[in-house]
Structure 1
Amino acid sequence: MHEQGIGAWLAKRRLKSPDKLALVHGEGSTVTYRQFADGTDRVAALLRRLGVGRGDAVAYLGENSPDFLQVMFGAARLGAVFVPINTRLAPPEVAHVLTDCGARVLIHDPEFGERVAAAIGTGPSPRVVVTGEGTADRPGLTRLLSTTVMDDAAVAVSLDDPAAIIYTSGTTGRAKGAVLTHGNLTWVALNCVVDYDVVSTDVALMISPLFHVASLGMGALPVILKGATLVLEKGFEPGRALAQIERHGVTMLSGVPTTYQLMADHPNWATTDLSTLRKLTCGGSAVPTRILNAYEERGLSFSQGYGMTEASPGATSLPPAMTRAKQGSVGLPHFFTSVRIADEHGAPIADDGIGEIQICGPNVFPGYHLLPEATAEAFTPDGWFRSGDLGYLDADGYLYISGRLKDMIISGGENIYPAEIEVLLGEIEGVTGVAVIGVPDARWGEVPWAIMTVREDATVDTATVQQFLDGRVARYKVPKNVVVVDELPRTASGKVRKGDLRSLFAG
């Protein structure tokens, strides 16, 4: 039997680096690769005892922890499909995921018990296991594993077999399940190893949730593939993140612009030892100049990138050396991935021409779970994934994002790409977040508005924005109104849910 899937990784790590530190979690609890692999084998044996077999869905609702990863790899050993659930979902949304994937087993952290009970009450009925010790009459995962005998639970898995179903954020309707194969997850990890130069001595701080594919596919998996160390955090708090960097000698960190801004604004920023940091990756949106400046003052540069769930999720990355020379770009295609720009008829567009970004490569998913029509619509006749994003490639092959096709604003017949305006507005002192949307207008059809979050000590209004943009962009691109809000609605990956904003302000 030749096992090609990710389920084989930890058995190989147990042979190659058994005593190497694999995971750090909580207040200094540690797990070696031998312990990680043994725990995964026990999970596989337990899942099989619970009736899980090849192709069955194993759902997980919980924060970053060794349990999360052991359940994922344990399911993979059986040829089962891992389904991580966004911890922010409401009971009806959880119910949709469980029903859609047909979960055989649901494992969840105790704090989500009420949500699970409400979700289960609406229809789906998987076998439910809580993490931790549980109770005498309902033993939890920890207690069940302590009495589980390891056996050879692994089955033959190919790279084409499904490994996970990741549900999209649902910004355009009910969440769709993107099926990611073992090959998809293997190739995205290899892309990261190559383009981010991941090495076995790295220590990666995971402050973003593993249920999001960026943290999983481009954060945890390449680190585990290389036998490096993961420091797992249940959530993000800027002061604690800084402390963990210093405490554990963190070399790798990934986040979104807001994450990095909050760390730079923290009182401990100037005194924290950041000398071990080597690799900072940022997604979600372009890094504003003020954040670049703050980190460059500490000798740090970013690798920015672009991707989506359907690409597992990485499509491009911008090397730190090009951060300034290609500021605003999301970089070059990953090593084993290709990107092109096409017009509305599918014809390739020359350098600097704006069109739809299309992606091809072994990290691109085969389709949506039980949605053949949506899958067919997502691909071109020659097999390229249609991202729905607008962008262009410069003469050197670097990709620039112009916005979503559905987010493009047409004002008086002129196309306005929100990303262009958002990058500029992010440079205004005191602005911590910004989204530009189109609002209906009797004269122009629609006009741009800027929805912002700002620091408590800052004052930013419509006049501020209009004065700042005067002479920088065409007048029709200047927002006609600025609304300051306490918080921008975001997906788990940090992307602004513009559909929510349009519902609020555009009617």
Structure 2
Amino acid sequence: MQQHGIGAWVAKRRLKSPDQIAIIHGDRSPMTYGQFAEAADRISAVLRERGVGKGDPVAYLGENSPEFLQVMFGAAQVGAVFVPVNTRLAAPEIAYVLADSGARVLIHDPDFAVSVASAAPAARTPYVIVNGEGTADRPGLARLARAAGTPFTDQADTAHEDPAAIVYTSGTTGRAKGAVLTHGNLTWVALNCVVDYDVVSTDVALMISPLFHVASLGMGALPVILKGATMVIEKGFEPGRALAQIERHGITMLSGVPTTYQLMADHPAWASTDLSTLTKLTCGGSAVPTRILDAYEARGLSFSQGYGMTEAAPGATALPAAMTRVKQGSVGLPHFFTDVRITDAAGAVLPTGAVGEIEVAGPNVFPGYHGLPEATAEAFTADGWFRSGDLGHLDADGYLYISGRLKDMIISGGENIYPLELEQLITEVDGVTSAAVIGVPDERWGEVPWAIVTVREGVSVDTATVRACLDGRIARYKLPKNVVIVDELPRTASGKVRKADLRTRFGA
């Protein structure tokens, strides 16, 4: 057996630091790395009993918990491919992810039973297992794991080139695309974080961002496990509780989006909370506003900011905390094992200061999209660099600055929203004749989606109508926050909507 993937990590942690605390979660007893490894072994056995083997997708739909990571590593040990499902998706979207990935097993939290009841049969997922005890007739994961026994010794042969996960990211075609991340991708992104964020075994990381996001998983949980440090896993984010956990557990590491940090700074407990143990704050999704920088610097704290995408697992660049003010507005330097370049429309590499498309290369960059060879081919240059679709430039010191997006993606509270998906659904609303969705600046969320629409004469359409028609069909964070009626949409000679004009008119 040659287990060179992440499936070997927890077994090696059991050997190297079996008594070190791995996970703290709610009122449950802290879990050591030895216990973590045993739990992963039991889940590996549960999967094996259901015929799961190398290359078989195993989906997980649930909030942050120890089970999330146990299932991921349990799947990795048998060579299966982990498919984390966004908990904010509507039932039809969940069904699509299950069907497209070909998931053989879905493990889900009880809170999602209603969505799963329609999604799993629609996707024809063979095995559905609920987290927890379940019932005697339909035993849950905990009951099955206890019955599975240990030790588990049947690890699959796994190489760095083998798929480890399929992470779904909304695509400009209106359908989610599954980014295939290999064991090597996840290993190298974790190493990038260890190097650039100086992760050490004595760190205590507070996990408040959803683990189904590749940023929280690849740049949060995995580096911590690689180093044998400790995670305090929160089911979700609540600013007052996050502050309390920082003080209670002596948190050293915290990752989030600007909204996360703003809500914490605005909380009544902010001024009285002991934050002295915090040494590593990382922020992604969008630039940190100056007023948030000011609030944290007043407490002696500064941020490492960064830029990335799911396809890079996800880190591409990192701005050292010491350079936050010196290079304010920058997203930093390429990660240690990653390269970034800027090219023009013809693919020629541009000189310092010139704006062009940001391209990324390195062992953390994915090999392609699941089942989409054409989309994969379009995503890479002839010499193997990933085309981000974003515009930016490098300064004389090699720091990257984002100028805009070739793709019209909206980033709202750290969540990616692609307009075309919304536009296609909005045009199905009775009376709507055309629609364009843009991102409008928002103090709390960074950006929120607005829909600019034209309607049939004599028909009444408003924000509530559109949101009601879309609710249940897409995740609620994607619902337009405002719907504006116009006589006509500005278009080019070829009929394409001039979204720059709409952003100028409505996005200020």
TM-score, structure 1 normalization: 0.82
Would you say the 8 A contact 1:208–1:255 is kept in 2?
yes
Alignment of 1:5-404 (within 5 A): 5-150=5-150, 151-170=152-171, 172-404=173-405
* Deviation by residue 1:349-391 (Cα, 9 ceiling, x = unmatched): 1111110000000000000000000000000000000000010
Q: Secondary structure at the match of 1:250?
A: coil
Q: Secondary structure at the match of 1:276?
A: coil
Per-residue deviation at 1:330?
0.2
Q: Which residue of 2 aligns with 1:470?
A: none
Question: Identity over the aligned pairs, expressed in percent?
Answer: 72
Structure 1 pair 450/223, CA: closer, same or farther in 2 (3 Å)?
A: closer
Aligned equivalents of 1:453, 1:402: Cα separation in 2? 19
Amino acid at match of 2:279: R
Structure 1 pair 450/110, CA: closer, same or farther in 2 (3 Å)?
A: closer
Q: Which residue of 2 aligns with 1:414?
A: none
Per-residue deviation at 1:136?
1.4
* Deviation by residue 1:301-334 (Cα, 9 ceiling, x = unmatched): 0000000000000000000010000000000000
Would you say the 8 A contact 2:307–2:317 is kept in 1?
yes
Aligned equivalents of 2:122, 2:141: Cα separation in 1? 24
Structure 1 gap ranges (5+): 409-417, 423-431, 438-447, 456-482
Aligned equivalents of 2:439, 2:3: Cα separation in 1? 52
Amino acid at match of 1:128: V
Q: How many residues matched? A: 440
Q: Which residue of 2 aligns with 1:474?
A: none
Structure 1 pair 312/505, CA: closer, same or farther in 2 (3 Å)?
A: farther
Per-residue deviation at 1:118?
1.3
Structure 2 gap ranges (5+): 420-436, 445-462, 490-508
Aligned equivalents of 2:329, 2:283: Cα separation in 1? 13
Amino acid at match of 2:117: A
Structure 1 pair 385/218, CA: closer, same or farther in 2 (3 Å)?
A: same
Q: Which residue of 2 aligns with 1:451?
A: 440
Aligned equivalents of 2:193, 2:483: Cα separation in 1? 37
Amino acid at match of 1:15: L
Aligned equivalents of 1:373, 1:171: Cα separation in 2? 14
Per-residue deviation at 1:124?
2.0
Amino acid at match of 1:77: Q
Amino acid at match of 1:340: R
Aligned equivalents of 1:83, 1:241: Cα separation in 2? 27
Amino acid at match of 2:440: I
Structure 1 pair 213/343, CA: closer, same or farther in 2 (3 Å)?
A: same
* Deviation by residue 1:192-219 (Cα, 9 ceiling, x = unmatched): 0000000000000000000000000000
Q: Secondary structure at the match of 1:29?
A: coil
Aligned equivalents of 2:66, 2:116: Cα separation in 1? 21
Q: Secondary structure at the match of 1:395?
A: coil
Structure 1 pair 365/504, CA: closer, same or farther in 2 (3 Å)?
A: farther
Amino acid at match of 2:81: V
Alignment of 1:461-476 (within 5 A): none
Aligned equivalents of 2:376, 2:172: Cα separation in 1? 17
Per-residue deviation at 1:403?
1.7
Aligned equivalents of 1:210, 1:32: Cα separation in 2? 20
Aligned equivalents of 1:161, 1:143: Cα separation in 2? 31
Amino acid at match of 2:266: D
Aligned equivalents of 2:50, 2:131: Cα separation in 1? 15
Amino acid at match of 2:321: P
Compute the RMSD of aligned alpha carbons: 2.7
Q: Secondary structure at the match of 2:170?
A: coil
Structure 1 pair 68/450, CA: closer, same or farther in 2 (3 Å)?
A: closer
Amino acid at match of 1:51: G
Aligned equivalents of 1:9, 1:222: Cα separation in 2? 11
Would you say the 8 A contact 1:305–1:316 is kept in 2?
yes
Would you say the 8 A contact 2:36–2:70 is kept in 1?
yes
Q: Secondary structure at the match of 2:206?
A: strand
Structure 1 pair 42/285, CA: closer, same or farther in 2 (3 Å)?
A: same
Q: Secondary structure at the match of 2:241?
A: helix
Structure 1 pair 503/218, CA: closer, same or farther in 2 (3 Å)?
A: farther
Q: Secondary structure at the match of 1:199?
A: coil
Would you say the 8 A contact 1:286–1:304 is kept in 2?
yes
* Deviation by residue 1:262-315 (Cα, 9 ceiling, x = unmatched): 000000000000000000000000001000000000000000000000000000
Structure 1 pair 449/72, CA: closer, same or farther in 2 (3 Å)?
A: closer
Q: Of the two structures, which has the highest relative contact order with CA contacts closer than 8 Å and spacing of 6 or more?
A: 2
Per-residue deviation at 1:257?
0.3
Aligned equivalents of 2:125, 2:195: Cα separation in 1? 42
Would you say the 8 A contact 1:337–1:360 is kept in 2?
yes
Would you say the 8 A contact 2:98–2:123 is kept in 1?
no
Q: Secondary structure at the match of 1:87?
A: coil
Per-residue deviation at 1:3?
1.1
Would you say the 8 A contact 1:41–1:153 is kept in 2?
no
Q: Which runs of 4+ in 1 moved over 6 A?
A: none
Per-residue deviation at 1:172?
4.7
Aligned equivalents of 1:39, 1:121: Cα separation in 2? 28
Structure 1 pair 376/171, CA: closer, same or farther in 2 (3 Å)?
A: closer
Aligned equivalents of 2:485, 2:298: Cα separation in 1? 38
